[in-house]
Structure 1
Amino acid sequence: MAAVAVCSVAAAWWSFSSRSEGDARNQVTGATTSSAVQANKSSVLNPQVGTVENQAGRPGVKSRDFDASIAGIDANKNGIRDDVEHYIEKTYPNPAQRAAMMQYAKAQQNFMLTATTPERAQLAARELWRSFACARSEFGRPWLDATKDVHAMYLNTRDRLHAQARAQDNLAGQIVESYSGDKPCD
């Protein structure tokens, strides 16, 4: 079975938007002052997204890493940003579910960082689809809900959101085979 490679940045759009729709429309049409536009260095995806300040501790914000790099801080070099890893360890006491979420987090980070060409996007997407199959096998029907917080954590800065969008652009129009094996989990 083949699945068309489609990823959504809609969650990032609304999660980063803190202004009203009218404010966003004014900025898109150029009705804001040039200093505000310059300060925002307007984004193709969401013109009102400017510099994302450290939001740690605010209600609903699970991220702790607002590092300037796209990869963020990964002290143990396991391919999962440390704040995401800590969140997963704290949130999923079931070892199989925790492992599935770690696999998903690693695949998501890999996709964002390595999908720099259509060919590399195709390879990274295969691992992402396999991690989806693993999450589905461990969580059942709510697997997608389980992954949304981790995905949002990975999109917590403007540069990370742009990296994800570039990876998706590199995957656009390609067909990625769904994982069809019987052992999707690492």
Structure 2
Amino acid sequence: MPLAAIIQGTPIWVWVLLVFLLSRGFKAMNSGTAPLSKLAIVPLVFTAWGILHLIADPLAGWSSVIVWVVCALAGIAGGVFIAKRTRFIVDPVANTVMLPGSVLPLVLIVFTFAARFWLGVQLATATSLSSLGICVLLSAAVSGVVAGVFGGRFLTYWKAMSARRVVQACSQGA
């Protein structure tokens, strides 16, 4: 299938999502402070995208759901591992997190988008049932891992914020 046909056949919302995700990835390359709620956006987008795919794709059955959940749990573990090795500072009063700049979010976003786009093309052009099944499972795996990595990073920030609030409340009450 020619590249022009693939690009023309891609829904506009996919390109809008790509622009949004790339903007978040480029922004993450610079250190800065962000509200905890804003840091939840990318994990929520990737989680919603994955779950929507599992619900909307007629080929996605229980095996896809299981693959997504297992890979999401693995991704969460990876995201926690990555975040714990990052020098971030939480401010429970302002409810913000100061993060150093990192290329990792952009790399994950580009990898995920490219993998999901390629798998979408494969699903649209597959000629055998077995290749369709493999693509659906691979898509669930990629989606789960990436949603998990971003979710794990967010959970680490949220947990650190909660711990600081407890410490702050105890010190004010003493």
In the superposition, the TM-score normalised over structure 1's length comes to: 0.27
Higher relative contact order (CA 8 A, sep 6+): 2
**Computing the radius of gyration over CA atoms, which structure comes out larger, 1 or 2?**
2
Q: Which has the higher helix share?
A: 2
